[in-house]
Homo-oligomer: A and B are copies of this chain.
Amino acid sequence: MSRITLAHANTIITSALEKGAELGLKPLSVAVLDPGGHLLAFQRQDGASTLRPEIATAKAAGALALGVSSRTIGDMAADRPSFIGSLGAIAPKGVLPAAGGVIVVGADGFPIGAVGITGDTSDNDELCALAGIAAAGLKPQE
């Protein structure tokens, strides 16, 4: 598996939103990016606020930017807030230090894309991202 297709991306989003509905979460926004950080597909549920597309994208793009999940970026920001804060100025899509952004890897372990979700708690956002990735038969970066 060397590439996330649009079909994969749509499955990830649909499954993530189903997971959110199953858990009774707030309206979610889900972005799927290619390994270069460019949007493949996105959906924002009714009632979600206006910056959610940028937040979902920044969780995923930031993960690809640093090579770790946005949860790990959140941990890094707790230790080194100025370092993470300084990245906003040089990362066109942002780097968002909160769980919900997960890198998807191919069979060789290299990133083939990323998923970013926002809307509920960061933990729940991430849980839905992982559910979406699994539903598409893909694997998150460990």
Q: Which residues of A contact B (CB under 8 A)?
A: 2-3, 5-6, 9-10, 34-55, 57-58, 64-67, 74, 77-78, 80-98, 110-111
Residues on the B chain within 8 Å of A34, using CB: 36, 50
Given A6-B45, A40-B44, A41-B42, does the pair A82, B78 have CB atoms closer than 8 Å?
Answer: yes
* Copies held by the complex: 4
Return the contact of A92 from the options B43, B85, B92 (Cβ within 8 A).
B92
Query: Can you name the residue of chain B whose Cβ is closest to the Cβ of A97?
Result: B82
Q: What 3 pairs between A and B have smallest CB-CB spacing?
A: A36-B36, A88-B89, A49-B67
Whether B84 pairs with A81 at a CB distance below 8 angstroms is: no
Query: Can you name the residue of chain B whose Cβ is closest to the Cβ of A2?
Result: B2
Given A86-B88, A95-B51, does the pair A43, B44 have CB atoms closer than 8 Å?
Answer: no
Whether A36 pairs with B38 at a CB distance below 8 angstroms is: yes
Given A10-B43, A54-B90, A67-B48, does the pair A82, B83 have CB atoms closer than 8 Å?
Answer: no
Return the contact of A96 from the options B9, B51, B57, B86 (Cβ within 8 A).
B86
